[in-house]
Amino acid sequence: MAAHLSALVAIVGIPFGHVIGPLVVYLIQRDKSPFAAAHARDSLNFQITLSLAAVLLFILVFAGWAALLVQLPEGAQSPLPFWIFGGWMVVACVALAAAIGAIALIVAGAVAASKDQPYRYPFAISFVH
């Protein structure tokens, strides 16, 4: 359960805490408890997957913003067109929904671990086996 819940330290702003927490639990428990190690490994894989997705999203958003700035005429003082503002709002809403979904999946994993049940995150790349 600690492996899943330790991933929530990213909410308080600890850099890479969402990966370090499950990694520490995995390293401590991998030889002691196969059950705890499996949960920690799954949590770690999910957090690494989320991190990669966030980095890719950031790169895409930054590239889109840079492309927009290149297309704007020099010295333009007009406000951004509505479709640009709407696009940013869509991106923000999707990012918020993804964050809420990730928290829900983390809590579901912690609940499953507390009931001694296996849990698999629905979309996680297996980096750690």
What tens digit of pLDDT does each residue of 17-50 get? Answer: 899 999 999 999 999 999 999 999 999 999 999 9
- Residue 125 in any domain: the answer is no
- Residue 58 in any domain: the answer is yes
> What residues contact residue 22 under an 8 Å CB cut-off, 6+ apart?
3, 4, 6, 7, 40, 43, 44, 47
- Residue 24 in any domain: the answer is yes
Stronger pLDDT, 79 or 39, i.e. the higher one: 39
> What is the residue range of 19's domain?
2-71+78-114
Neighbours of 109 (CB within 10 A): 25
- Residue 20 in any domain: the answer is yes
| Count: domains in the chain | 1
